[in-house]
C-alpha cells in the first residue's frame, strides 16, 4: 500500500469513529459542570438555551466538551453535596443558578472558575467583591430581585388599587430571598403599606402561611428562590383558595395560576451565561469578567386568575404586558 493511501485510510477511520469513542481520547474534552437548583422538567428550557449558545460559540458535547448535569430539585440541602461532587471532577468551569448554589460551590473551591447564571445581589451575598472587578473565582449575572421590589409593588397596586395590607412570604434559608424580603419591607413602608410577613424554612410551613394570610391581607408578594419555584403549583393553589392576588419575580409562577410576575427573562440570562463559559474556556479569568445585569424583563399577567379573583385588570396594564395568559 502506498504511503499516501495509508494516510488517507487512517484519516477516514478516525472520521468514522463514533463520538463516544472520540470523546474518550485524552486531551480532547473540556468539562463544564452544571449545578441546576430546580427540577429537570422546569429548568431544561433554561439549560437548553445555555447549551445552544455554547454550540453557536463552537463548543459541542462529545466533540470538545462534556457537560456534567446535577439537579438539586429545589432542595437546598443538596447544594453542598453536589458542589463537592462537581469539584472532585475537576471541571474547567462550573455554572450554577441561584445564590445558595453559587455560595455552596464557592465554599467548595477557590480555584475552579464559577459562573452564576442568575443570582440576587451578588455583592450583598458575598459572591463577588464588586460588579466591575469580581475578584476571586466567581462571576456571572445578577437578577436584580432587590432592585425591582419597588417596581413590583407599583404594578401590584395598579391591579389591586385597594391594597393596604401586604402579605410577604420568603424562604429564609435562601440568602437572596432574605435580601429581597428586606427590600420589599423597606419599599412597602415608604408607600404606607402595612406588611404581614411569614418566614418559611420547609415545605410543611407553606400551608400554615396561607392560613395566616387568608382574610388578613389584600395581596401577597412571594419572594423568589428555587424552593418556591419548585413548589409553585402548591403556592398558586393555596393563594387561589385564600383568594389572594399574588406578585412574583418568575413567570413560571404566573403560568400555573399566580396573578402576575415581573422580572428578568431567565432563558436570556442562561443564554448569556454561555458567553461567560466561552470566555473562561478560552482562558479568561473570572476575576476579570464584570458581573452583568438583565437586559430583558417580562411582565406576565394571568387574566384567568384575575377573573377567578373578581379582579378587572386595567387595559393600560394589559397593553404593557409581555404575555397575557388566558
Q: Which helix (H) or strand (E) holds 167?
A: strand 165-171
The confidence score (pLDDT) of residue 17 equals 38
Q: Topology of 3-143+266-296 in CATH?
A: Rossmann fold (3.40.50)
Do 3-143+266-296 and 149-264+298-325 come out as alike in CATH topology? yes
The confidence score (pLDDT) of residue 27 equals 58
Is 162 exposed, middle or buried, given 0-12, 13-18 or 19+ CB atoms closer than 10 A? exposed
Confidence (pTM): 0.83
Domain locations in the chain as residue ranges: 3-143+266-296, 149-264+298-325
CA 120 to chain centre: 9
pLDDT digits (tens, 9 = 90+) for 12-49: 443 333 333 333 444 579 999 999 998 898 889 999 99
> What separation, in Å, do the N-terminal and C-terminal C-alpha atoms of the chain show?
71
Residue with cell 423568589: 224
The confidence score (pLDDT) of residue 16 equals 37
Cell of 292: 452583568
pLDDT digits (tens, 9 = 90+) for 193-213: 999 999 999 899 999 999 999
The confidence score (pLDDT) of residue 99 equals 86
**pLDDT lower than 70: segments of the chain:** 1-27
- Give 149-264+298-325's CATH code, choosing from 3.40.50.2300, 3.20.20.60, 3.40.50.300, 3.40.50.720: 3.40.50.2300
Measured CA to CA, the distance from residue 23 to residue 40 in angstroms comes to: 25
Measured CA to CA, the distance from residue 2 to residue 234 in angstroms comes to: 72
Amino acid at each position: 500500500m502506498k504511503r499516501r493511501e495509508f494516510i488517507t485510510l487512517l484519516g477516514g477511520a478516525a472520521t468514522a469513529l463514533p463520538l463516544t469513542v472520540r470523546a474518550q481520547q485524552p486531551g480532547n474534552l473540556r468539562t463544564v459542570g452544571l449545578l441546576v437548583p430546580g427540577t429537570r422538567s422546569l429548568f431544561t428550557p433554561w439549560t437548553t438555551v445555555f447549551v445552544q449558545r455554547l454550540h453557536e460559540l463552537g463548543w459541542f458535547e462529545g466533540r470538545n466538551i462534556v457537560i456534567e448535569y446535577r439537579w438539586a430539585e429545589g432542595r437546598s440541602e443538596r447544594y453542598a453535596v453536589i458542589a463537592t461532587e462537581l469539584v472532585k471532577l475537576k471541571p474547567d468551569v462550573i455554572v450554577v443558578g441561584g445564590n445558595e448554589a453559587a455560595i455552596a460551590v464557592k465554599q467548595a473551591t477557590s480555584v475552579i472558575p464559577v459562573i452564576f447564571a442568575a443570582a440576587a445581589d451578588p455583592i450583598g451575598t458575598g459572591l463577588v467583591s464588586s460588579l466591575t472587578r469580581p475578584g476571586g473565582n466567581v462571576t456571572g449575572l445578577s437578577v436584580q430581585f432587590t432592585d425591582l421590589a419597588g417596581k413590583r409593588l407599583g404594578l401590584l397596586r395598579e391591579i389591586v388599587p385597594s391594597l393596604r395590607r401586604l402579605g410577604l412570604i420568603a424562604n429564609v434559608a435562601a440568602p437572596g430571598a432574605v435580601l429581597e424580603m428586606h427590600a420589599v419591607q423597606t419599599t412597602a413602608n415608604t408607600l404606607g403599606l402595612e406588611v404581614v410577613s411569614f418566614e418559611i424554612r420547609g415545605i410543611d410551613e407553606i400551608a400554615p402561611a396561607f392560613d395566616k394570610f387568608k382574610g388578613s391581607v389584600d395581596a401577597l408578594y412571594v419572594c423568589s428562590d428555587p424552593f418556591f419555584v419548585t413548589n409553585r403549583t402548591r403556592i398558586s393553589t393555596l393563594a387561589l383558595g385564600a383568594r389572594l392576588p399574588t406578585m412574583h419575580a418568575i413567570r413560571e409562577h404566573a403560568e400555573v395560576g399566580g396573578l402576575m410576575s415581573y422580572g428578568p427573562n431567565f432563558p436570556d440570562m442562561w443564554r448569556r451565561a454561555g458567553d461567560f463559559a466561552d470566555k473562561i474556556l478560552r482562558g479568561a479569568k473570572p476575576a476579570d469578567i464584570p458581573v452583568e445585569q438583565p437586559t430583558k424583563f417580562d411582565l406576565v399577567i394571568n387574566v384567568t386568575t384575575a377573573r377567578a379573583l373578581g379582579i378587572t385588570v386595567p387595559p393600560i396594564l394589559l397593553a404593557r404586558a409581555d404575555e397575557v395568559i388566558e
